[in-house]
Copies of this chain bind each other. A is one copy, B any other.
Amino acid sequence: MSNPTAAILIIGNEILSGRTQDVNVNFLAKRLAARGIQLSEVRVVPDIAHRIINAVNELRASYDMLFTTGGIGPTHDDITSECVAEAFGVPWEPHAETFAIMEKAMPAGAFNSARQRMATMPRGAVPIPNKISVAPGFSIGNVHVMAGVPRIMQSMYDALEPSLPEGTPIAMRAVYGMGVMEGAIAAGLSAIQDKFADVDLGSYPFRRETSGGVAIVAKGTDMARLEQAIAEATALIASHGIDPVQGEPA
Give the number of times this chain occurs in the complex, counting copies. 2
Nearest B residue (CB) for A116: B183
Interface readout for A109-146 with B: 1 if CB under 8 Å, 0 if not?
01011110010000000000000000000000000000
* Interface residue? A91 (CB, 8 A): no
Which listed residue, B44, B47, B149, B203, touches A41 by the CB 8 Å rule?
Answer: B44
| A246 part of interface (Cβ distance < 8 Å) | no
List CB contacts (< 8 Å) of A8-48 with chain B: 10, 13-23, 25-33, 39-47
Q: Smallest distance from the beta carbon of A104 to chain B beta carbons, Å? A: 15
A77 close to B21 (CB less than 8 A): no
B45→A41 contact, CB < 8 A: yes
Given the interface contacts A17-B39, A170-B17, does A77 sit within 8 Å of B114 by beta carbon? Answer: no
Q: Does B110 contact A183, Cβ atoms closer than 8 Å?
A: yes
In the complex, are the beta carbons of A42 and B16 less than 8 A apart?
Answer: yes
CB pair A22–B25 under 8 Å, yes or no, is: yes
Q: A206: nearest residue on chain B (CB-CB)?
A: B149
Is there contact, CB below 8 Å, between A15 and B40?
A: no
Residues of B within 8 A of A113 (CB): 187
Within 8 A of B (CB), among A197-250: 200-205, 207, 217, 219
Is A4 on the interface with B (CB-CB < 8 A)? Answer: no
Q: Which residues of B contact A185 (CB under 8 A)?
A: 75
Q: A residues near B, CB below 8 A?
A: 10, 13-23, 25-33, 39-47, 51, 73-78, 110, 112-115, 118, 149, 151, 170, 172, 182-187, 189-190, 193, 200-205, 207, 217, 219
